[in-house]
Amino acid sequence: MIKNFIVSPSLLATDPLNFGRDVKMLEDAGAKWFHVDCMDGTFVPNFSFGYSTVSALRKFTDRVLDVHLMIDRPIRYVDHYIKAGADYLTIHVEADSEENTLKALELIKSKGIKCGISIKPKTPVSAIEKYLPILDLVLVMTVEPGFGGQSFMQDMMPKLNELKTLVDKVNPSCHIQVDGGIDVNTAKICKENGANVFVAGSACLKAEDKKAFITTIEQ
């Protein structure tokens, strides 16, 4: 199945004192998705947006809200993010038991929301294989999750390629997303290895011509 290339700008890279301005600026640049990183300070050593931010964004924009939960035992909170207006809700396979991970994914799907699962750099593709038939998105982290501005891990490309082969066989409509150190050059490398959704934070927000940045990757 042919899938479009999509840039999902990471709102973690926005100016917190000018959040609305930056969201509008990205909309004007052609952003179709927004990536919302939600961190709890437990699963990762940092805090960021919560479901109240998602709710505020939902009132402010009609773009796809691509919500990435970097939180411990996400089954406790997925319903809050669903009600807040997430379009895609991605949880980490490392964050809970297999039983609770499956329950969380099934709950997301039952509410008509797209469900995703993410894997850290040290987690193999085999860890998410059992969930793949119901997934709408798999996120491969190309940095260690928790902080923005890290360097791209090119050694994740064999994993990405392995995932692409598996997705093509099991669930061809599932998006393959990458997050971490994504710019025009690293996005090209990820495209060649099977990714079609690109989370771009610092590189996108700091680009002199944001529209050109988005268009170049989505071509």
Query: Considering only CA atoms, which of 201, 207, 208 is closest in space to residue 7?
Result: 201
Bridge partner residues of 114 (DSSP): 88
Query: Considering only CA atoms, which of 6, 7, 3, 23 is closest in space to residue 15?
Result: 23
Asked whether the beta carbons of 135 and 115 are under 8 A apart, the reply is yes
Q: How many CB atoms lie within 10 A of CB 205?
A: 20
Query: Considering only CA atoms, which of 173, 96, 82, 177 is closest in space to residue 132?
Result: 173
Catalytic hit among 22, 37, 66, 183: 37
Work out the end-to-end distance of the chain between its first and last CA atoms, rounded to an integer number of angstroms.
17
Label each residue of 133-155 as H, E or C: HHCCEEEEECCCCCCCCCCCCHH
In the residue annotation, 136 being an active-site residue is answered as no
Catalytic hit among 22, 66, 136, 179: 179
Q: How many CB atoms lie within 10 A of CB 104?
A: 24
In the residue annotation, 79 being an active-site residue is answered as no
Phi, psi (deg, nearest 5) at residue 121: -55, -35
Catalytic residues: 37, 179
